[in-house]
């Protein structure tokens, strides 16, 4: 972890960079795979599953027998933990429901807004070295609350052609419609275009590596919406001498172990704390099963010493972290001043892991600085707002003249006529 002391503004751009490849580096590969799957469907998907996942499949669809086997293989303790998390996630997202908004903007002009669920959605669940069954909860639970009719899930198979039991159990528990053994770019392309086996969807959700992120962005060119650009995980901790160094180190490592392209940042007004945290990182990392991954991520990460809280906050808002932990003497300064963050964790006893699993908030969050303009996944992510209006005769008389004048000023005579014809009848 590199120590940077009191950086000047002219080096901030370098400090804000993430250790990821540029879109140009991987867009060619993604585009080629998209074209192949658009033209050849299942055949192309199976080919890339063999190439990238190292397994030849006869069928991508997970069978009911496989789901039953997975249910039996998941321990009762883990099932209890998943049920507890599901309950909390459900409670938090149920609370996000909004009522119909209705208002008479002018006498006789009634306008209202109602939410409608997105009918067909696709969930991408990373597998690989860490099968993220917790992400199934974060996506499928609010999707069911919103009322999505078709929920398909894609996740990469292992070398044995299987999806992790925990993912299958959780997906079935949460009401996923169909589960497919497909990962990476090919999964996003299949959900975009549809194949003989996989139906196309209207919106794709879920995190992934840099290839998945670019694939999701490419999907938008073909009329498919995405939740957000969500790439490699990241965490920023702001801490001073009131923080517990071993807690800070544990939090930093919790994100570093996600992947070698993850990034963690420590911002502090205390060099003493930074030194103690670095020592703790070395001690704790040596005990981790995924220490080789965490070590690479830590090498791409930084500890930044600043002179005051104001400078810290300015840097944090510029960095716009996915996860933001606040552990200072004056937490309110940061919680009230933060403008750009995916999710915020406050105090010595609020680990980021809580949000990843069981507190109830959603862990599917914008990365790579996109929290400047994107929210994390929430209930509204699974619906769209439709506006309605009904105008009476009195209402049209009240606003008709304004519409005519505005339409004429824009040179749109037919727009004006649509009102003028009606007004003439009413006035006669």
pLDDT category of residue 53 using cuts at 50, 70 and 90: very high
Report the distance separating Cα 422 and Cα 404, nearest Å: 11
Q: Are residues 329 and 224 in the same domain?
A: no
Sequence-distant (≥ 6) Cβ neighbours of residue 9 within 8 angstroms: none
Domain range for 412 is 392-427
Average pLDDT over residues 262-269: 95
Q: Are residues 335 and 407 in the same domain?
A: no
Q: Are residues 80 and 208 in the same domain?
A: yes
Q: Are residues 70 and 189 in the same domain?
A: yes
pLDDT the model gives residue 1: 86
Q: Are residues 56 and 151 in the same domain?
A: yes
pLDDT category of residue 232 using cuts at 50, 70 and 90: confident
pLDDT the model gives residue 291: 93
Q: Is 373 within the bounds of a domain?
A: no
- The domain boundary residue, chosen from 228, 250, 269: 228
Bridging pattern class, strands 323-327 and 234-239: parallel
Q: Is 376 within the bounds of a domain?
A: no
Bridging pattern class, strands 150-155 and 120-124: parallel
Average pLDDT over residues 329-356: 97
Task: Report percent pLDDT > 90 for the chain.
Answer: 87
Q: Are residues 91 and 150 in the same domain?
A: yes
Find the angle CA(244)-CA(248)-CA(249) to the nearest 5 degrees. Answer: 115
Average pLDDT over residues 144-155: 98
pLDDT the model gives residue 22: 58
Residue 223 falls in which region: left (phi positive, over 0), alpha (psi -120 to 50) or beta = left
pLDDT the model gives residue 35: 98
Structure tokens of 60? 């991508």
Report the distance separating Cα 213 and Cα 118, nearest Å: 21
Q: Is 340 within the bounds of a domain?
A: yes
**130 or 174, which is more confident:** 174
- The domain boundary residue, chosen from 228, 244, 259: 228
Q: Alpha helix (H) ranges present in 360-392?
A: none
> How many domains are there within the chain?
3
Whether residue 21 is predicted with pLDDT greater than 60 in this model: the reply is no
Q: Are residues 270 and 224 in the same domain?
A: no
Find how far residue 98's CA is from the centre of its chain.
21
Choose the weakest-confidence range: 61-75, 125-139, 146-160, 275-289: 125-139
Whether residue 20 is predicted with pLDDT greater than 70 in this model: the reply is no
How confident is the model over 93-124, as pLDDT tens digits?
999 999 999 999 999 999 999 999 999 999 99
Closest CA to 146 of 121, 165, 111: 121
Whether residue 188 is predicted with pLDDT greater than 60 in this model: the reply is yes
Closest CA to 134 of 125, 142, 143: 125
CATH number of the domain that 418 lies in?
Answer: 1.20.5.1300
pLDDT category of residue 23 using cuts at 50, 70 and 90: low
For the chain, the average pLDDT equals 95
pLDDT the model gives residue 209: 83
Residues with active-site annotation: 322-323
Q: Are residues 88 and 177 in the same domain?
A: yes
Q: Is 71 within the bounds of a domain?
A: yes
In the chain the first and final C-alpha atoms are separated, in Å, by 80
pLDDT the model gives residue 199: 97
| Residue the block writes with tokens 């192949």 | 36
Q: Is 375 within the bounds of a domain?
A: no
- Give long-range contacts, CB 8 A cutoff, 24+ apart: 53-59: 53/156, 53/157, 53/158, 53/159, 53/183, 53/184, 54/159, 55/157, 55/158, 55/159, 55/160, 55/161, 56/161, 57/157, 57/161, 57/181, 59/197
pLDDT category of residue 54 using cuts at 50, 70 and 90: very high
pLDDT the model gives residue 17: 83
This prediction's pTM = 0.92
How confident is the model over 285-326, as pLDDT tens digits?
999 999 999 999 999 899 999 999 999 999 999 999 999 999
CATH number of the domain that 64 lies in?
Answer: 3.40.50.1980
Q: Are residues 122 and 240 in the same domain?
A: no
Q: Are residues 138 and 188 in the same domain?
A: yes
pLDDT the model gives residue 417: 98
Average pLDDT over residues 393-410: 98
Q: Are residues 70 and 188 in the same domain?
A: yes
Q: Are residues 36 and 132 in the same domain?
A: yes
Report the distance separating Cα 187 and Cα 42, nearest Å: 11
Whether residue 46 is predicted with pLDDT greater than 60 in this model: the reply is yes
Q: Is 369 within the bounds of a domain?
A: no
């Amino acid at each position: 972890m590199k120590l940077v002391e009191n950086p000047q503004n002219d080096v901030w751009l370098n400090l804000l960079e993430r250790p990821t490849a540029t879109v140009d580096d991987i867009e060619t590969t993604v585009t080629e795979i998209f074209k192949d799957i658009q033209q050849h469907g299942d055949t192309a998907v199976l080919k890339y599953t063999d190439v990238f996942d190292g397994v030849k499949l006869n069928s991508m669809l997970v069978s009911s027998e496989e789901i039953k086997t997975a249910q039996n293989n998941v321990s009762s303790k883990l099932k209890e933990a998943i049920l507890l998390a599901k309950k909390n996630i459900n409670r938090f997202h149920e609370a996000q429901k909004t009522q119909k908004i209705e208002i008479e903007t002018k006498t006789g002009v009634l306008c209202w807004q109602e939410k409608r669920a997105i009918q067909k959605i696709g969930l991408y669940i990373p597998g690989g070295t860490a099968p993220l069954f917790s992400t199934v909860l974060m996506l499928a639970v609010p999707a069911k609350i919103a009322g999505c009719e078709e929920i398909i899930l894609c996740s990469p198979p292992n070398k044995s052609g299987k999806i992790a039991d925990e993912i299958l159990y959780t997906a079935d528990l949460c009401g996923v419609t169909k589960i497919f053994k497909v990962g990476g770019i090919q999964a996003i392309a299949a959900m975009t275009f549809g194949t003989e086996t996989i139906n196309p969807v209207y919106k794709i959700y879920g995190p992934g590596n840099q290839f998945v992120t670019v694939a999701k962005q490419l999907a938008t060119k073909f009329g498919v919406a995405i939740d957000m650009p969500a790439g490699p995980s990241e965490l920023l901790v702001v801490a001073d001498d009131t923080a517990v160094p071993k807690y800070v180190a544990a939090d930093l490592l919790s994100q570093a172990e996600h992947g070698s392209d993850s990034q963690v940042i420590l911002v502090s007004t205390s060099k003493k704390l930074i030194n103690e945290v670095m020592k703790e990182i070395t001690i704790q990392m040596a005990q981790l099963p995924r220490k080789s991954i965490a070590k690479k991520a830590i090498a791409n990460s930084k500890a930044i010493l600043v002179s005051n809280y104001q400078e810290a906050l300015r840097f944090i808002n510029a960095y716009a972290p996915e996860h933001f932990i606040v552990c200072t003497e004056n937490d309110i300064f940061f919680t009230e001043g933060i403008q750009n963050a995916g999710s915020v964790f406050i105090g010595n006893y609020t680990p980021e892991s809580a949000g990843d699993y069981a507190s109830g908030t959603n862990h599917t969050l914008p990365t790579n600085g996109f929290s400047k303009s994107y929210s994390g996944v929430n209930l509204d992510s699974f619906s769209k707002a439709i506006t309605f209006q009904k105008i009476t005769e009195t209402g049209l008389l009240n606003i008709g003249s304004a519409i005519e004048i505005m339409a004429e000023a824009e040179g749109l005579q037919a727009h004006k006529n649509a009102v003028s014809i009606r007004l003439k009848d009413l006035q006669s």
